[in-house]
Amino acid sequence: MSWVQAISSSGEDVFDEYMDDMQPQQNEWRCNMEKRVKDGYRDGIEAGKESALQNGFNQGYVAGATSMKTIGELKGILSALLTWCQMQKMDSRIIDDLKQLLQTAADQEAVLLERLRISQQETNVSEVTDDIELLELNAVVQETSCGGCGNSVEDPCSKLDNEFDKEHRKKQDLFSKSVECWTFHKVSDSENEHVANLLIQSFELASALNLPAELLQHIKYLGTIQVNVK
């Protein structure tokens, strides 16, 4: 410590009798000051965190809200159609198709939420955490894509869906081989594609039911926004 050296070389008698004790005292001093730095650091982290949390929350909130609107709205549309069809006592096949679509949309919503949780940390978490979270996401994606292809046998979109699933599996293989940052964007693209596909399927179903043009128009509009997200 420079000031300790300055004092010890000042030649004052009063310090001479302590000269032999200087080494342990210096060590103690250094130890104390290191403790001060650590204390300060700890307090600083707390204060810094507190000052930035709200700002970060606001940023994340707006981003999260924007990316979840469409899937939420689609779930609402499908739920309304399901209640309507049930009240009209429609063919149980239509009702089953609607239930399946709604379930797939709900699963997709969970995947998107999980993606949000991860993507906000994207650039900053350690590789180990990346690894674990990607594996978790991978598991969710796998579940959902299996649920998604269950109803595609008699669906007009089945070809598209199969291609999509093939593409999806390719990407999953990619995941297990690599945890590089850019794979997040691949996930993001394929998730948006999945929502867009759900919208197409919902549109086909609503068209088959001869629903009002205003509603069909609206579903189409949601599809256009979704495509533009890509």
Partner 1 sequence: MAGPNRSDDLFDSILMADDRFRGEGYMEGFEEGERIGIIEGRCHGAVHGGKVASEVAFYYGFAFTWKCLLQNSTDVKAGKRLKTLETLIGMIQSFSHSDPASTTLQDDLDKVRSKFRQVCSLFSIPADFRQCFEHSGVSF
Cβ-based nearer residue to partner 1, 94 or 167: 94
Kindly tell me which residue out of 31, 62, 146, 225 binds partner 1, with binding defined by CB under 8 A. Answer: 62
**Contact set for partner 1, span 123-182 (CB under 8 A):** 124
Shortest distance (Å) from residue 90 CB to partner 1: 13
Which of 8, 22, 26, 64 binds partner 1 (CB under 8 A)? It is 64
Longest dimension (CA), the chain: 105
CA distance 96 to 200: 17
x-marked contacts with partner 1 along 91-130 as a string, rule CB under 8 A: -----------xx--x--xx-xx--xx-xxx--x------
Instruction: List Cβ<8 Å contacts ≥24 apart for 127-136.
Output: 127/179, 130/179, 131/179, 134/175, 134/179, 134/183
DSSP 27-68: HHHHHHHHHHHHHHHHHHHHHHHHHHHHHHHHHHHHHHHHHH
Least distance to partner 1, CB of residue 179, Å: 18
Closest CB to partner 1 among residues 37, 174: 37
Counting Cα atoms < 13 Å in the Cβ hemisphere of 22 gives 14
What x-and-dash track marks residues 14-43 binding partner 1 by CB under 8 A?
Answer: -------------------xx-xxxxxxxx
